[in-house]
Structure 1
Amino acid sequence: MQKIDQACVNTLRFLAADQVEKAKSGHPGFPLGTAPLMYTIWDRYMSYNPANPNWFNRDRFILSPGHGSALLYAMLHLAGYELSLDELKNFRQWGSKTPGHPEYGLTPGVDVSTGPLGHGFAMGVGFAIAEAMLAGKYNKPDFPVVNHYTYGLTSDGDLMEGVSCEAASLAGTLGLGKLIYLYDDNKITIEGDTSIAFTEDVEARFKAYGWQVLRVADSEDVEAMAAAIKEAQADTTHPSLIIVRTHIGFGSPKQDSPSCHGEPLGADALAATKEKAGWPQEMFYVPAEAKEHFAAKLPACAKAEADWNALMDDYKACYPELAAELADRMAGKINVDLEALEAIFKEQTKSATRASSGDVIQKLAEQVPALVGGSADLGPSNKTVMKAGGYFSKLDHKGRNIHFGVREHAMGTVLNGLALHGGFVPFGGTFLVFADFLRPTIRMAALMGIQSIFVLTHDSIALGEDGPTHQPIETTMGLRLIPNVSVIRPADALETAVAWQQACLNKTKPTCLLLSRQNLPVMHEHAAVIHENAAKGAYVLSPAKEAAKVILIGTGSEVELALKAQAKLAEEGIDASVVSMPSWDLFDAQSEEYKESVLPAGVTKFAVEAGVPYGWSRYTGSEKNVLGITTFGASAPGGVMMEKYGFTVDNLVAKVKAVL
């Protein structure tokens, strides 16, 4: 290793180790072992500009084993990002920009939040799809306006997780040649040598997935790693995994031991490690030559972005319409014509909301060029196919539909990668009950505050004959528990149009659209109030004739039941109003005055939803004031299911009268 390379690598190593030691918390083993890998990528190949961390055509970098965050912070500091040495000294402390795992939106230069192993690896597949899809549409001869790579470090733990297996298989199928990962093959896990649980031939597995696999025998050989990355770039039709034999805790007394994975080295071991490397004992020492080496790169970093801006100016002159569309996508500009969406259903009297969603998607595909998506092999059931969109594939990068295959977990991470990349409003579909496969990705989308849209159909026991394995009972409520997630369960086609509008406009959180299999009446008689108020999450759909004695709150398919119960109660001299509440979170965000106007104090409330009743007491005052279901379903036609489980007008009326 050349002298300057060694100086920079050791700077990264010991800045990371010092962060962990000062915090008395963290993971020093990974940074000590993989600093040369990080350095090689950033020094030899990364295209970036610290002055503008969000430059659109930059290369993306993913630290999939997020527990090694101290190494990434050291790299960003050295590369010139706005991440001071004081921030590194404040590692893992309250209010710092250097949290225990990298957090998107908090630390300049962090492209993705990582921590749950495998997720970073899989989100990188989304990044690579995004680059290829945009390049396929907007690049023209002499105008490679979208042209960048996705690089990353990945680990044994990442490759053991199922989500990385799903994503790797998809990436190989799609031939994502601009996705390049360096694999930290240190053969150590927390519990011991990887051989205790991980003996497969990783090289053979990834070759079977359709990846190019390269090997570097010595992690200290920067030139060999640089040559391997160059070889990876030369293969434009396969993603690349570069297996690098590394040593966890390199150079320390704890090298190749699990004990240096998740705890500080300790003062004595850290001192011994520095002494062995010929490094000063001073904490957070950065030699002048390392500073100067990366400072010298800054003019070229700025020039790379300036050259791209000039290219974009020329592109605009030659392709003004495409340039304007691409600029809108990069800026996240979205226009949704709600009236045009509602007009789809003028002649319809009944429609399953999954079918209504499919109709809306066709119109949105015209209105929102950034809209892309697919389904976990359930497109015909989820109604998620954009009929005029074409399919993204290894041979055609222009398609807007994505075949995710039966890979819900990877689908969610790919959606998150697309959203993080920018230029996309991504959606993915499956059955609501399978949201459990998606839950970690929904949580990560919520944590990062990104616009992934999850189309979750077959939303209750009314789906019928497929039986309890496919009938969600607790799923809806479970999704509502995740902070910063918008969960919308529309009652009809018109509410579905509003739900999609909100999903497209809400850029700071993911949205879950919960849709019915069974047909529901289109509420044309309430069209005006739906148009005006459905986006508020809850609204008075059908007011009482005089003073309501009870407010019936319904969601989704049960709104129809509430309306029928209202009529039945009126026959018995009980004046009721009906509130449609498609979204708790949208309603909770409204003013106190509005919420009081919908659910006034002093009036009995009764909710009905084909799911667990737990949680509804926040609106009804008691779980006794809820018609729900607390057992698993059964296999029978949907109508029979609803009747057998008590979702009938007579039962609802009886329960309302009992609480009155």
Structure 2
Amino acid sequence: MSDQQSDKQHALDQLSINALRFLAVDAVEKAKSGHPGAPLGCAPIAYLLYHKIMKHDPADPMWIDRDRFILSNGHASALLYGSLHLSGYDLPMAQLEQFRQWGSHTPGHPEYGEAPGVEVTTGPLGQGFGMAVGIATAEKHLAAVYNRDGHKVINHHTYVLCGDGDLMEGISHETASLAGTLNLGKLIVLYDDNLISLDGPTELSYTEDVTQRFEAYHWHVQMVHDGNDLVALEAAIAAAKAETTRPSLIRVRTVIGYGSPKAGTSKVHGEALGGEAVKETKKNLGWPEDKTFYVPEEARANWDTIKPRGKKAHEAWNADFKEYKTAYPEPAAEFERVIKAELAKDWQKKIPVFPTDKPVATRNAGQVVMNAIAGVVPELFGGAADLTASTKTIFKDSPSFHVDPKGRNVFFGVREFGMCAMVNGMAAHGGLIPFGSTFFVFSDYCRPALRLAALMSVHSLFVFTHDSVGLGEDGPTHQPVEHLMALRAIPQFTDFRPADANETAACWQLALERKSASFMALSRQDLPVLDNEKYKVHEGVKKGAYALDNSGKDIILIATGSEVALVLKAAEELKSQGINASVVSMPSFKIYDEQSDEYKASLLPENTPKLAVEAGATMGWYKYVGHNGAVIGLDRFGASAPGPIALDKLGFNVANVVEHAKKLVKK
């Protein structure tokens, strides 16, 4: 390229970058709300990625082999929306003009499903970074499973833009550490190293050597000293792509609020620039001061070159995949099925039915189910936070993903929050049904990721074991109390607390079929197995709650999990005393709430006294037992003792259930 051509291209690049900058500035200014600083400083990064480096097709945002871009510092959302609009995604200018307004597809932080091209929901800092690690994990596993010689049906990179806040959050430490261990060579993180946080200079709270930190995680680290230097940025990204084993961090020194009178200060972090400052910024960068949401024709034409290039890349992939299907019909058919999120035909026939001859802990039943369906649900992929021996979530016939990327067992280490964020990233990537597991009490560590799983409605599964004080001697620190109700309170999150092995099998089936976020709370202790045929367990679980004994008209006993066996015994004792009790198992509040009013009225008639029994917080039960009912639960912390003793001392025994039931019947 001649000097004249180079100068012309440079001018066109700058015009295109400034178009992106001022779409963001104008969106924030019109909303009188938002973060203009990062878009002003990071627009060259976004332009370079979208316009030149990334493989993506704006006409098909869900193309499975697209490169992914994750804006982890989600407060810079105006930068992402501008990039998507200019790249040709279906995000018209009218949406940018409605930034942060009711009903728009341009919310304050990027939300999965709202705008095409938004890969995950990034609001709470650090979670975008964590989910990106999950996305890169999914890419590596699927590539290992489905690629063949000469045919790379999965071969893409995951790009992340993050800020200081992301790297301060603990989740970035958890997932960056694991990313290095897992050799995620196609993960490239660009760190907006602008030396400013919301409170002021980062030296107030953040003085670690980020380069050494990430090198210690076994990452490939580079530094670009000027975020406006497209040549240096492109060279760094090329070097990162050439590093195929280690994930890459590119530190990019930018100026927050570049070009504005508030540049380099926290004043451009969390508020609009203001009218006069906007005019001055436009003047400083040679932009028309009297125009808003303005894209010059030359800049628009330059951005428009993305669409034909993306279409060409996608067509080349389609042609290769056609050849792949001919050469490898079986893996191709499976690949097409899993990326459509369709389960294999008749897969559920592999779900076992458990005999009643001996008690089984529901965590052990879960392991049996997982391994029984492993062959027909190859997309099931995950592991535990250093607890596979306890949660029983391991595929016995598969290697570790770390040892062999075809392996389906992920050893997440003691990183509960990072694990669950990674699971969400895997689910958002597509082609997998991912899961993570740990002790139920540690769901507290996971909760922000659980909330985002539900908010995004991705198919993330979370398996929690040791679900009550019945776990015993580990005591209050490990005994969940409020956790069931806390997670049931999350909208769009399906709860499962099965009563036995057969309910566990039915819950696994529903968790896979519902294609939304869900959790299971499974027991450590052995529980009697319900007769699947007698009680129609699988059909009952599909309704969230069902009658195990519907003969009693004096009172209804309702329970979940390990307490179902208890209320069955209590019903027998009540019957011997002349009181007829029905027994209802309620493995899922959410699924029960979805049932018809007619079904609910038939199962829990309004005028019959009801007693609920659950080894957890009582809050939330009263919507089911009503004004004339009662709850035996746990509104205190547990105690260190053998499980049966802890349960007995805390009131989970036949005598206490009978006593409470008799009082209700006498009312």
**TM-score > 0.5 by shorter chain:** yes
Cα distance in 2 for residues equivalent to 1:251 and 1:348: 75
Q: Partner residue of 2:351?
A: 341
Q: Partner residue of 1:378?
A: 387
TM-score of the superposition, structure 1-length normalised? 0.98
Letter in 2 for 1:298: K
Deviates more, 1:615-624 or 1:575-584: 615-624
Confirm or deny: 8 A CA contact 2:535 2:548 kept in the other structure.
Answer: no
Give runs of aligned pairs for residues 511-660 of structure 1, distance below 5 A.
511-524=518-531, 527-544=534-551, 548-622=553-627, 625-660=630-665
Q: Partner residue of 2:458?
A: 450
Letter in 2 for 1:652: V
Gaps in structure 2 of 5+ consecutive residues: 1-6
Q: Partner residue of 1:287?
A: 296
Confirm or deny: 8 A CA contact 2:610 2:629 kept in the other structure.
Answer: no
Q: Classify 1:620/1:528 alpha carbon distance in 2 versus 1 (closer, same or farther; 3 Å).
A: closer
How many angstroms does 1:553 deviate by? Answer: 0.2
Q: Classify 1:233/1:324 alpha carbon distance in 2 versus 1 (closer, same or farther; 3 Å).
A: same
Confirm or deny: 8 A CA contact 1:127 1:421 kept in the other structure.
Answer: yes
Q: Partner residue of 1:112?
A: 120
Q: Partner residue of 1:134?
A: 142
Confirm or deny: 8 A CA contact 1:616 1:622 kept in the other structure.
Answer: no
Residues 493-512 of structure 1 show CA distances to partners (whole Å, capped at 9, x for unaligned) of 000001000111111x2111
Residues 223-282 of structure 1 show CA distances to partners (whole Å, capped at 9, x for unaligned) of 100000000000000000000001111110000111111100000001000001110120
Cα distance in 2 for residues equivalent to 1:577 and 1:342: 28
Confirm or deny: 8 A CA contact 2:470 2:524 kept in the other structure.
Answer: yes
Q: Partner residue of 1:78?
A: 86
How many angstroms does 1:623 deviate by? Answer: 9.0
Residues 145-167 of structure 1 show CA distances to partners (whole Å, capped at 9, x for unaligned) of 11000011010000000001100
Confirm or deny: 8 A CA contact 2:356 2:529 kept in the other structure.
Answer: no
Q: Classify 1:347/1:618 alpha carbon distance in 2 versus 1 (closer, same or farther; 3 Å).
A: closer
Gaps in structure 1 of 5+ consecutive residues: none
Q: Classify 1:267/1:400 alpha carbon distance in 2 versus 1 (closer, same or farther; 3 Å).
A: same
Q: Does 1:500 align with 2:508?
A: yes
How many angstroms does 1:593 deviate by? Answer: 1.0
Q: CA RMSD in A?
A: 1.2
How many angstroms does 1:631 deviate by? Answer: 1.0
Letter in 1 for 2:337: D
Cα distance in 2 for residues equivalent to 1:437 and 1:275: 48
Q: Classify 1:76/1:525 alpha carbon distance in 2 versus 1 (closer, same or farther; 3 Å).
A: closer
Q: Partner residue of 1:396?
A: 404
Give runs of aligned pairs for residues 50-449 of structure 1, distance below 5 A.
50-281=58-289, 282-335=291-344, 337-343=347-353, 345-346=354-355, 348-393=357-402, 395-449=403-457
SS at match of 2:62: coil
SS at match of 2:190: strand
SS at match of 2:189: strand
How many angstroms does 1:143 deviate by? Answer: 0.4
Confirm or deny: 8 A CA contact 1:216 1:244 kept in the other structure.
Answer: yes
Which of 10, 13, 36 lines up with 2:18 in the alignment? 10
Identity %: 53
How many angstroms does 1:348 deviate by? Answer: 4.8
SS at match of 2:536: helix
Cα distance in 2 for residues equivalent to 1:339 and 1:174: 34
Letter in 1 for 2:645: V
Residues 477-522 of structure 1 show CA distances to partners (whole Å, capped at 9, x for unaligned) of 1000000000100000000001000111111x21110000000011
Letter in 1 for 2:602: S
Residues 293-345 of structure 1 show CA distances to partners (whole Å, capped at 9, x for unaligned) of 121232221111111111111111111111011111111111464453233x2
SS at match of 1:450: coil
How many angstroms does 1:188 deviate by? Answer: 0.5
Cα distance in 2 for residues equivalent to 1:195 and 1:511: 41
SS at match of 2:103: coil
Letter in 1 for 2:310: C
